[in-house]
Amino acid sequence: MDSRQIKTRAKLASVVLSLASERPASEITASEIAIAAGINRSTFYQHATSPVALLEGVLRDELDEIRDHYLGEANLETGPQASEAIERVTVAVLEHVDSHDAIYTRGLGEGSGSASLQPLLSQHFAGSIELLLERHALTVPQASSILPAGFVADAAARFIADGTVGALDVWLSTPTPRSTAAFMSAYRVFLPSWWPLPA
């Protein structure tokens, strides 16, 4: 993207985050985002197919930046480094979710419908787990020799990812200020024994 597109993208991100913190993304129109961002409607559609897609893209970009920062360059081959990196990236995602708590509270709630953010967060966590598996920072014990190759690792990634999103949804219902340390303490209890987090 050129500098003008980058500025437009930043404006759109700021506007959609502001509007989605006030009401469900499914109720926001492309026209009102375009007006608030000072662009025309056709420019909006150069960046996203809908307000919901724009919101998801903005949140995904933030989550990807967190992953890249904590897991992108780190050498995750060794145990202590891996467990510390995993804890740091998890806390950073908690802080991201907490900083957008109104958006995620709506987006993870039962009434979120087609604007649900559950798949977005679950895919993020599963992607991080897959990255850790590829780099041998995680090793999933094999449950049975009769299962297809890759089943256990894929199922474990999905199981932990979906469970983490569920735990985050409950955490968002707790009073503010929320404690990431308290979440991590409970999270250690939920995770399997082979998951590398510092004690």
How does residue 77 score in pLDDT terms, banded at 50, 70 and 90? Answer: low
How does residue 114 score in pLDDT terms, banded at 50, 70 and 90? Answer: confident
**pLDDT at residue 56 tops 70:** yes
| Domain ranges across the chain | 52-190
pLDDT of residue 104: 97
Question: In a 10 Å sphere around its CB, with 0-12 CB exposed, 13-18 middle and 19+ buried, how is residue 133 labelled?
Answer: middle
**pLDDT at residue 103 tops 80:** yes
How does residue 184 score in pLDDT terms, banded at 50, 70 and 90? Answer: very high
Q: How far apart (Å, rounded) are the C-alpha atoms in residues 17 and 134?
A: 33
**pLDDT at residue 162 tops 90:** yes
pLDDT of residue 145: 73
Quick: pLDDT tens for 5-49.
899 999 999 999 999 999 999 999 999 999 999 999 999 999 999
pLDDT of residue 110: 80
pTM for the model stands at 0.91
**pLDDT at residue 198 tops 80:** no
The DSSP-derived string for 177-199 is SPPHHHHHHHHHHHS-TTS----
